[in-house]
Amino acid sequence: MSVTLSAIAVFCGSRFGHNPLYRQAAQETGQTLAEHGLRLIYGGGAHGLMGVVADATLRAGGKVTGVIPDFLESREKMHEGVAELIVVDSMHVRKQIMFARADAFWILPGGFGTFDEMMEILTWKQLGQHGKPIILVNIDRWADNVIAMLDAAVEQGFAEPVARAMIQTVPDIQTALAFSQPQDVLRKVPAGQL
């Protein structure tokens, strides 16, 4: 079964971070998605890098789906400009919907919530639940420590190199786009290699 790339889930911060290159990359992400006719699937917030990605996508004429738990309404402020905003009752349901609607996943700079989303989608791939591309966009080396942690898990015997290879690291948005073509078939990792 062939898969067409039509939607990208972007995981990123509900804050801006200190480096102005993060905001620039978020703007480029939204513009790139819109220019290539790719729907943005994201966390539904109006603040931080999440809001920047959504605003840039909308400004460039792109389509956006936001998914946000109702209890985050006061903390992250729901994006009122998003035509398709799905309000759910838990973080788990949020991630399930984002997973189901996306053909690939881009991880941009963010904090603990971004790390949680990245690790869950990576774990699901390791367990053979999907074969969708996962791209860690290492803007100005923000993710060096995350990459080191993943590599350490392999070095210390807690993960196999084949599992580590399920997440690609790229330096910028254009490279992320090039690496985002979905696999034609679900690739399962043999149980002994998990």
Distance CA(134)–CA(120), nearest Å, equals 11
Q: How far is CA 193 from CA 21, 139, 160, in A?
A: 38, 31, 6
pLDDT digits (tens, 9 = 90+) for 113-154: 999 999 999 999 999 999 999 999 999 999 999 999 999 999
Domains of the chain: 7-181 (3.40.50.450)
Residue 32 has pLDDT above 80, yes or no: yes
